[in-house]
Structures are given as C-alpha cells and as structure tokens.
Structure 1
Amino acid sequence: MIKKRELHECHTLYDLMVHPDVFPFVRQKAYSYEEFLFLSKQTIEAEERGELISRTILDEWGNAIGTINLFDIQENAGFLGTWIGKPYHGKGYNQPAKDAFFSELFFELGMETIFMRIRKVNTRSQKAAEKLPYVVKANESRKSLYDQLNAQEEVYDLYEIPKDLYTLYLYQLQQSAEEEQALEA
C-alpha cells in the first residue's frame, strides 16, 4: 500500500498531481515534469538527512497513485501531507495508506505527534479528518502553533494525531475483531 519514493514513478505521479482537483492542495507543487523530478530527488535526499519522511501510495496492483509525507520534523513531531490522484478519489485508498504510514511513524520511527494543517476551504479533507476517532482539532489546544500557521491570514485549521490516541484506536480495533471472532466460533 505504501513504499519509499523512487524516481521511476515520477511520470505517473506528476500526471496525477497536476489535475485541477488535486494540484491546489499539494504542498510541494511542481509546474513541469522536470521540476517534479527535481523536487522528488530533493525529497529522497531530505529523507536520508532525517528532515522528512515520504512514501508513495500504491493501488492493489502496485501502481503509484499519490504520496504521503511527514514534513517539518522537529521533536518527534511533523506535519502530514497527503495527496491521491483524482481517478482514485473515493475508492478507499486514503485510510489504508494513512494506517500503514502512521504505524511506521509511531511504532518504527519513534514519532509522537502528527499534525495536519488543512485549508479551511478544503471541506473534503476536513470532513475526512474529523471522521477519524484518533484525530483532535487543535486550533485551541495548540494555539501558538495555530497562530503561527495563520500568521498572515486565517487559512488553516490545525489537527493533531497523538501517538497514544492512535494506539488506543488500534487496540479498540483489535478488541472488536477478537470479539467478532469469538461470536463466530
């Protein structure tokens, strides 16, 4: 479902990224394939330096369909950036990609908090975030960070995924699955 970024998938990803329903919400915008290739090389090098974490989202056949990233890593926390190509919207790829990425971040790479800044006009992403039981709207609880994000103009809502809340969510999923198995037996 996710894997480390590789340059050979840049053509596919670039073609998906430039769609008008996707492009406005992509953090690392590229206005040409060559620029996207350059940004992808920089991303891979930045990950090697520990500055960010970037993965390619794959469909069930192993085709690149988007990216999921953790930017601005400081003190075991960073900002999530995800985009999926328009042909794959609403097909159930987002949640499994996030689950795989969050598990890697929290349980393999030692992250403690994942932040999401979502544009107030991006209601699709806001609704998706607010449906998740481990996401907390943090405009008030992380007021200084919220103010920093919106220093020029109030553009973003701030959301937080704490490791303990995500761990509780996974525990509850496991408990539900075990109870369902017990009822079937």
Structure 2
Amino acid sequence: MIKKRDIHESHGLFELMAHPEVFPFVRQKAHSAEELLFLTKQTLEAEERGELISRTIIDEWGAAIGTINLFDIENGAGFLGTWLGKPYHGKGYNQPAKEAFFEEIFYELGIDTVYMRIRKANPRSQKAAEKLPYAVLANETKKHIYDQLNAEGDIYNLYEITKDLYTFHKLRTQETIQEEALEA
C-alpha cells in the first residue's frame, strides 16, 4: 500500500498530480515531470536529514498512485500531506495508506503526533479525516497552531492524531475482531 519514494516514479506521479481536482491540494506542487523529479530528489535528501518522511502510495499491482508525507517534523510531531490521483479517488486507497504510514511513523520512526491541516474548501479531505476514528478536530485544543495556520484568514481546520489514540483504536479493533471470531 505504501513504499519508499523513488525518483523513477516522478513522470507517472506528475501525470496524476496535474489533474485540476488534485493539483490545488498538493503541497509540493510541480509544473512538469522534470520539476517533480527535482522535488523528489530534494524530498529524499530532506528525509535523510530528518526533516520529513515521504512514501509513495501504490495500488495492488505496485503502481504509484499518490504520495503520503509528514512535513515540518519537530519534537516528534509533523503535518500530514496526502494526495491520490483522480482515477483512484473513492476506491478505498486513502485509509489503508494512512494506516500503513501511521504504523511506520508511530512504531518505527518515533513520531508521537500527526497534525492535518485541511482546507475548509476541500470537502473530500474533510470527509476522509472525519472517517478516521482516531482523528480529533483540534481547532480549540491546539488553538495556537490553529491560529498560526489561519493567520491569513479562516482557511483551515486542524485535526490531530496521537500515537496513543491510534494505538487505542488498534487495540479496540483487534478486540472486536477477536470477539467476532469467538461468536462465529
């Protein structure tokens, strides 16, 4: 569902990123495949420096269909950025990609908190965030971050995912699965 980034995916990812329903919501925008290749090289270098974590979202055949990233890492926290190519919207790739990413960053890479800043004008991403049972709207509880994000106007909602909430969700889900297996 996810894998480490590879510069050889840049052309295919650019074609998916360039769609008008995707491009406005991509944080690392590229206006050509060559520019995305350059940005991907920079991303790989930034990851080596511990500034971000970036993975490619793949489909069941291993084709690159989008990216998932943790930007601005500081003190065990960072901002999530995810995009999928338009042909893959609504096909069930988003949540499994996030869960695979959270497994890695929370349990292997030492991240404790993930923030999601989502444009209020992006209902698709709002809906996706609200489907995550371990994501909490943090406009009030993290007001200082919310206010920084919205310094230029009322643009973003802020969501927070903590390692503890994610772990609790996993344990609760496993417990439900075990109970269902015993009842069967």
- Is TM more than 0.5 here? yes
Aligned residue for 2:73, secondary structure, equals strand
Alpha-carbon distance in structure 1 between the residues aligned to 2:2 and 2:130: 23
Query: What pairs up with 1:12-23 in 2 under 5 angstroms?
Result: 12-23=12-23
1:74 counterpart = 2:74 = yes
Aligned residue for 1:152, secondary structure, equals coil
1:140 counterpart = 2:143 = no
Shift of 1:133: 1.1
Alpha-carbon distance in structure 2 between the residues aligned to 1:35 and 1:128: 29
Shift of 1:183: 1.3
Shift of 1:65: 0.3
Shift of 1:130: 1.1
CA deviation digits over 1:25-63, x for unaligned, max 9? Answer: 000001111111110100001001100000000000000
1:152 corresponds in structure 2 to: 152
Alpha-carbon distance in structure 1 between the residues aligned to 2:59 and 2:147: 37
Shift of 1:152: 1.4
CA deviation digits over 1:59-95, x for unaligned, max 9? Answer: 0000000000000000000000000000011111001
Unaligned runs of 5+ in 2: none
Query: Identity over the aligned pairs, expressed in percent?
Result: 70
Query: What pairs up with 1:15-54 in 2 under 5 angstroms?
Result: 15-54=15-54
2:60 corresponds in structure 1 to: 60
Q: How many residues are matched? A: 184
CA deviation digits over 1:10-39, x for unaligned, max 9? Answer: 111000000011000000001111111110
Unaligned runs of 5+ in 1: none
RMSD: 0.6
Query: What pairs up with 1:82-101 in 2 under 5 angstroms?
Result: 82-101=82-101
Shift of 1:132: 1.4
Aligned residue for 2:67, secondary structure, equals strand
1:174 corresponds in structure 2 to: 174
Alpha-carbon distance in structure 2 between the residues aligned to 1:85 and 1:124: 13
TM-score when normalising by structure 2? 0.98
CA deviation digits over 1:133-161, x for unaligned, max 9? Answer: 10100011000101111111221110000
Match for 2:104: what amino acid?
Answer: E
TM superposition outliers: structure 1 runs of 4+ over 6 Å: none
Match for 1:151: what amino acid?
Answer: A
TM-score when normalising by structure 1? 0.98
2:114 corresponds in structure 1 to: 114
Shift of 1:124: 1.1
Alpha-carbon distance in structure 2 between the residues aligned to 1:167 and 1:112: 11
